[in-house]
Amino acid sequence: MASPLICSQAAMNHPIVFVPEERSALLLNRLSALPKFTGVTAASRLEMRPAPKMVSTGIHAMDALTGGLPRGCLTEIFGPASSGRSSVLLAALAAATQRQEVCALVDVTNAFDPQSAAAARVVLDRLLWVRCGHEREGHDFSRANKTFLKAGALAPQKKVEGPVEQALRVTDLLLQSGGFGLVAIDLSDVPPKMARRIPLTSWFRFQRAVENTPTVLFVIGQVPCAQTCATLLLKLQASGKSVVDPWSSVLGERPTTNDQRRTIPPHAQLLDGLQVDGELLRYRMERKPSRSVNAAFVTKMLRTG
Amino acid sequence: MPFACIFVPDFPVEALLRSEPELRSQAVAVLEGKAPLQKVFAGNEKARRAGVEVGMTKLQIEACTDFVLRARSPLQEAAAHSALLDCAQSFSPRIEDAGDDTILFDLVGLEPLFGPLPKIARDLARRASEFGLEANVAVASNLDTAMLAARGFSGVTVIPAGREAEQLSNLPVAVLFVGAVPSPTLETFDRWGVRNLRGLAALPDVALSERLGQEGVRLQQLARGSISRTLVPVEPPLIFEEAVELEYPLMLLEPLTFLLSRLLEQLCARLGARALATQELRLRLELENGWHAEDDCCPSTALDSSDRRIFQRTLRLPVPLLDARIFLKLLQLDLKANPPGAPIVKIYLSAEPVRPRAAQSGLFLPPSPEPEKLELTLARITGIVGEGSVGSLEILDTHHPHGFRMRRFAPTEPQKLDPRPYSGEKPESSSAITALRIFRPALRATVTLRHGKPSHIVCSKQIQGDVLWAAGPWRSSGDWWEQEGWSRDEWDIAVQAESHIALYRLVHDRLSGRWLLEGNYD
């Protein structure tokens, strides 16, 4: 029976050598006799990456849980609908714009509510809102292209893009432009299937673009999609028992029986806010978080109009 | 009292070569007149050497294939003249407009600022070259001597005071006469055998006066460099416009970009020479055919209804800028999104001059995007998501729940921050504000009421089921005095989703009677 062959590449400049197994000991001896590679730094002497500067999320409980949002890193928050993702985003935008930073929101599904933002004290002058998938207003490109072709001129090539593709290109441009304090991508209403289809290379590119910059890249969605590119990964969930507090302001005490409930007029009830539980799933700066990995906070309803 | 003169030889040719500098190495002749009767109006040095003379017909020149023929362009000549004025104005505020191709100006007091006179003259020539004009520059102690020297000597000439007659002596007598039309006085000098200014200067004064009158005396004084007059200063208007008339209609975006690039560079050089920047660029294209009625796809702002052959675009910038590359990219993106729709025959590009932005960023100020980069990024993003989909928000003064409008994103300069770190200060409210996510457009829903409040909702596959909790209605109305009046009842409802409870805003439109799911609390 022929002895198995062992493949070994002695050095970068040497061809691959196949040797029988019994000669492996001899080969190892020869390899050990070769001069050692130079220019390779031992792992123990590798330079430590400095910890990123943290900025406030605008919510005490979240700051206590994560230490804030890391600059130059990708932070991802996910959770189902009504789990408080957008509230956290607004709080982060408010905090950043009040620090006089210029922020950008890439709104993939055009769901941003200006009234909520104003109520959350976001400085709207400092927020760039990009509405992906929003209908083009004013100018009909398809007709213009047709006419331009008629005139014998070069028509600009119209590329039909989905909102997610638009969002990725826009984010790329914003990050390359630089100077933004916070760039947020809102993927909350994007179906999980589609969100997961975003290539990992895009997230790597984004992460690489914000590295060593003071920009906070903030992503919210239904499922985690940036995977290992996210430095900070948080899961949010609304706690089921006290999602609403309908009887708080009007009656003072909660009715207990169904009859009593029926007597309460619906307009006497009020949505008071969301109670949100946050769970820290990953924080790459710390191998093992010493603090609690859970936090709870309540969002407050503010009626406008 | 030193004066300088900038003279552009073969001005009609130079004006054309500004937009086509690659022709500088060739023999170029400029034609004037209507199609079959075109005659040579001007030609460059190479053309003259090849035998081209003013007044030759087009047919005579066309026998030779080495010539580049161009029609005379008054538009480009006007732009070149403005550029020449700007060139002089960038050195001295006291300038005299002595013709399309000649500018005189006062150099008094400039030596401490710009250095000695030869250096000023060289800088002037270099500046004119930056503006696309190859000019002769002469400096002398009086205006007319400077003008004669600029017309007679190529390159840079500096004539020391007191040596005017000696320096001018070798110039031909023709330099005294402006224009291509032969003067009778010149013919007289020719008959007398007076070929150069030395000969004219040596003629006896009285005899010359008897034969040619005061005109003869003036010409002799000019030849001697002894005449002196005062400068007639002009204040050139702050109009920065460049134009190109095309030989053939332009149909592609790429060559248009190429031409725009040149125009922008010239415009920026002119603005820069006057220490100005621009906040508004206006591009006007004259089209060959214009738009037809069925092709009415241009935005109303872009096309003048009175003249459908004119296509206009205006770029308004949030801050004054002076970078030809950025302007070009912005124009390119704009034209890509809004194509002119017909072949182009003339291009006009003008800039509204403003004082340049003077800003100094502080060490402790938060980072903000560079205005130039930001403007370019915004234009690119607009190209991706469309106009009206990018910008900052402005909440309107209305009770309407969707009362906002988009406006141009122009963040204000950051002010000095509070020295206390943000983390140390206590926010005004400890909790976040509940955000509403708007469904655009709102989702139609079928709602079942029980005891006057929603008990069941069917909206989509994901959003349907019993209403677990409802609060409302919150009634509001407005704009009833207009056609867009609205009246609605709002409900906050909780619906069981797959694994969680979701909160929605349900709206009953009281005017149409429809139920709409307007958004989701998140």
In a domain, A113, yes or no: yes
State residue A258's pLDDT score.
54
Number of CB pairs, chain A paired with chain B, less than 8 A apart: 299
Neighbouring C-alpha atoms within 13 Å toward the C-beta of B54? 11
Inter-chain touch B471–A81, beta carbons under 8 Å: no
In a domain, A30, yes or no: no
Instruction: Note the pLDDT tens digit of each residue in A72-122.
Output: 999 999 999 888 899 999 999 999 999 889 999 999 999 999 999 998 999
Cα–Cα distance for residue pair B444/A31, rounded to 1 Å: 74
Residues of B in contact with A301 (CB under 8 A): 433-434
Inter-chain touch A129–B474, beta carbons under 8 Å: no
**Alpha carbon of A285: minimum distance to chain B alpha carbons (Å):** 20
| CATH number of the structural domain B3-224 | 3.30.70.270
Q: Mean of the per-residue pLDDT values for chain A? A: 75
Which residues in chain A (22-51) have CB-CB distances under 8 A to chain B? none
From the list A131, A150, A181, the residue facing B389 with the nearest CB is A131
Instruction: Note the pLDDT tens digit of each residue in B311-331.
Output: 999 998 888 899 999 999 999
Residues of A in contact with B339 (CB under 8 A): 144-145, 148, 153, 155-156
The parent domain of residue A209 ranges over 54-136+143-236
Tell me: pLDDT of B263 over 80: yes
Mean per-residue pLDDT, B132-154: 91
From the list B299, B432, B522, the residue facing A81 with the nearest CB is B522
**Alpha carbon of B381: minimum distance to chain A alpha carbons (Å):** 6
- Percentage of residues of chain B with pLDDT beyond 90: 29
In a domain, A208, yes or no: yes
A117 CB near a chain B CB, below 8 Å?
yes
Residues of B in contact with A146 (CB under 8 A): 297
Inter-chain touch B366–A189, beta carbons under 8 Å: no
Q: B350 forms bridges with which residues in the sheet?
A: B241, B282
Q: Which of A69, A244, A300 to mutate to test the interface with B (most CBs of B within 10 A)?
A: A244
In a domain, A102, yes or no: yes
Instruction: Note the pLDDT tens digit of each residue in A161-180.
Output: 788 999 999 999 999 998 89
Closest of B182, B324, B205 to residue B264, by C-alpha = B324
State residue B21's pLDDT score.
86
Residue A208 buriedness (CB in 10 A; 0-12 / 13-18 / 19+): exposed
Window from A215-224, A242-251, B293-302 with minimum mean pLDDT: B293-302
In a domain, A292, yes or no: no
Window from A232-236, A287-291, B499-503 with minimum mean pLDDT: A287-291
The per-residue DSSP string of B30-73 comes to: EEESSGGG-EEEEE-HHHHHTT--TT-BHHHHHTSSSEEEEE--
A152 and B343 Cβ atoms separated by less than 8 Å: yes
Q: Mean of the per-residue pLDDT values for chain B? A: 85
Cα–Cα distance for residue pair A169/A244, rounded to 1 Å: 39
From the list B386, B453, B476, the residue facing A134 with the nearest CB is B386
Chain A: residue nearest B470 by CA? A266
Q: How far is CA B79 from the centre of its chain?
A: 12
Which residues in chain A (195-224) have CB-CB distances under 8 A to chain B? 214
A191 CB near a chain B CB, below 8 Å?
no
In a domain, A287, yes or no: no
In a domain, A159, yes or no: yes
Chain A: residue nearest B518 by CA? A111
A229 and A200 Cβ atoms separated by less than 8 Å: yes
B2 and B141 Cβ atoms separated by less than 8 Å: yes
In a domain, A35, yes or no: no
Q: How confident is the model at residue B420 (pLDDT cuts 50, 70, 90)?
A: low
Structure tokens at A185: 């991508």
Chain B: residue nearest A53 by CA? B423
**Alpha carbon of B463: minimum distance to chain A alpha carbons (Å):** 11
From the list A63, A125, A271, the residue facing B392 with the nearest CB is A125
**Alpha carbon of A290: minimum distance to chain B alpha carbons (Å):** 21
Domain count along chain A? 1
Instruction: Note the pLDDT tens digit of each residue in B393-413.
Output: 999 888 888 889 989 898 887
Inter-chain touch B434–A301, beta carbons under 8 Å: yes
Q: How confident is the model at residue B307 (pLDDT cuts 50, 70, 90)?
A: low
Inter-chain touch A267–B474, beta carbons under 8 Å: yes
State residue B468's pLDDT score.
85
Inter-chain touch A112–B438, beta carbons under 8 Å: yes
Residues of A in contact with B428 (CB under 8 A): 121
State residue B229's pLDDT score.
86
Cα–Cα distance for residue pair B2/B424, rounded to 1 Å: 67
Q: Indicate the domain borders of chain B.
A: 3-224, 436-521
> Residue B441, preceding bond cis, omega within 30 degrees?
yes
CATH number at residue A200: 3.40.50.300
**Alpha carbon of B400: minimum distance to chain A alpha carbons (Å):** 7
